[in-house]
Structure 1
């Protein structure tokens, strides 16, 4: 059986070389999307691995992800940022997951946290649907390049760190798009990496008005029909975390405002082109 080629798609900024690959303990092919102040392409061989770098003046995490997908060459692609550190056996774990689940188009893994409490994961392998996909972080996502490319799936560039509109939610929109196009998403309980959350977040500044506004837009982009239910469940589930600064009604009100502005174009000038019914 032919070996599956695993390629790590790294999103970073202002990188002068390929040292981030070693820093992340990546021991496979990698494509680095380097958002900086110039345009350039380069490629080197290191330890029998092909490392490529595309430097671009574009900004935004989702734009970086899409550029990586457009230029990826691996059979299996791994979403990667500059604060990830992979296990020694990560390549083998990824390849085994796809060998064991040939029908899987996307496999999400568990991860350890540095700088915050450990996140809980499912104990066993399972297939994920829409609700479970909401629990997934971008650091967990791997996918078959062929499946994503064939179905024209991309990250929504209105969402994600660095976007001019909404600062998060891009991974959930990506996974929902996969599910809408009948791709199979599997969870593997293997711990693939450690994520460093000790630094300042590029998008989360606490439970403020902008946070709730963006959540309302995200839930509406995920599902116009059920956005109200997603807003209510979020307000209930996270109440303990925001109750010192917002009432339940205020949180719902801000999310509803984000929902309505997303649907109507609103003050941000966003559109409803990708909002499912």
Structure 2
């Protein structure tokens, strides 16, 4: 957001063709050739991470698409290794790569994968920054990012999970790869404010979006895996998850849900 120039190219250590979808206060277009690569910046007054990524996708022309967060620093040999992974595995539609995570300058986690095809339930730990997809597959399956989930949207998180699960729903062949593409700074988050009532409410809406009537195992998993990371009781978490699930059809936000309950309590 609010980029004035192409300095992110250096900050993120990108040596490849790049599209920067930049949400700011004006509409503009900038294109330059850097190291013989095409670098485009599309600035719009839109808001919402899903819409922003879709704007970038609409301008993509290359065979393999890799998503990026602006707090990720990529390895020098990124393009060479990503392309090689697809060449070695022509059956792969989607490949999820490894990532290192830093907090306050120190590495706190490293995701290193096996080279294998995975089922959907093994994909929950990955985000869009891990993901590379063949462009022809994305176009064929009409895949895009939801505008309901993520920063600037009605539900604060889940756009990455929603996209990845849609890949499985379209019967795409999803693989993991041992190459670690870079390092992401996890010191701050634009949306995460702890495992609060809103977090679980939004997670319930996400479950409904991804799994429909088969959401209950996922909601149970979400409540259980945060047992030591939330002050909310298991029953309270399940209540909020179910509330988000139930109200997703009407796209009722957490704030609207809270106001509705306050009115009920007043009566």
Q: Residue 76 in 1 paired to residue 64 in 2? A: yes
Decide whether aligned partners of structure 1 residues 208 and 104 sit closer, same or farther in structure 2, where only a CA change above 3 A counts.
same
Question: Which residue number in structure 1 is paired with residue 260 of structure 2?
Answer: none
Question: Which residue number in structure 1 is paired with residue 169 of structure 2?
Answer: 180
Shift of 1:183: 1.3
TM-score (norm 2): 0.91
**C-alpha distance in 2 between matches for 1:231 and 1:119:** 26
Q: Residue 171 in 1 paired to residue 160 in 2? A: yes
> Which residues in structure 2 correspond to 1:55-134 (within 5 Å)?
55-115=43-103, 117-122=108-113, 124-134=114-124
Runs (5+) with no aligned partner, structure 2? 257-267
Q: 1:181-236, CA deviations, whole angstroms, 9 ceiling, x for partnerless residues?
A: 121111002111100112x3111000111101011111111101221111111111
CA contact (8 A) 2:202 2:254 kept: no
Runs (5+) with no aligned partner, structure 1? 1-12, 271-277
Q: 4, 11, 35: which is aligned to 1:23?
A: 11
- Structure 1 or 2: larger helix share? 2
Decide whether aligned partners of structure 1 residues 133 and 27 sit closer, same or farther in structure 2, where only a CA change above 3 A counts.
same
CA contact (8 A) 2:201 2:254 kept: no
Q: 242, 245, 250: which is aligned to 1:256?
A: 242
Provide the aligned length of Structure 1 versus Structure 2. Answer: 253
**C-alpha distance in 1 between matches for 2:255 and 2:164:** 25
Q: 1:23-56, CA deviations, whole angstroms, 9 ceiling, x for partnerless residues?
A: 1000011001110111111211111111011110
Decide whether aligned partners of structure 1 residues 196 and 268 sit closer, same or farther in structure 2, where only a CA change above 3 A counts.
closer
Q: Residue 239 in 1 paired to residue 227 in 2? A: yes
TM-score (norm 1): 0.87
2:15 is paired with a residue whose SS is: coil
> Which residues in structure 2 correspond to 1:33-72 (within 5 Å)?
33-72=21-60
**C-alpha distance in 1 between matches for 2:34 and 2:135:** 23
Q: 1:105-124, CA deviations, whole angstroms, 9 ceiling, x for partnerless residues?
A: 111100001117315444x2
Question: Which residue number in structure 2 is paired with residue 192 of structure 1?
Answer: 181
> Which residues in structure 2 correspond to 1:215-234 (within 5 Å)?
215-234=203-222
CA contact (8 A) 2:99 2:111 kept: no
**C-alpha distance in 1 between matches for 2:205 and 2:110:** 25
2:241 is paired with a residue whose SS is: helix
Moved over 6 A (4+): none
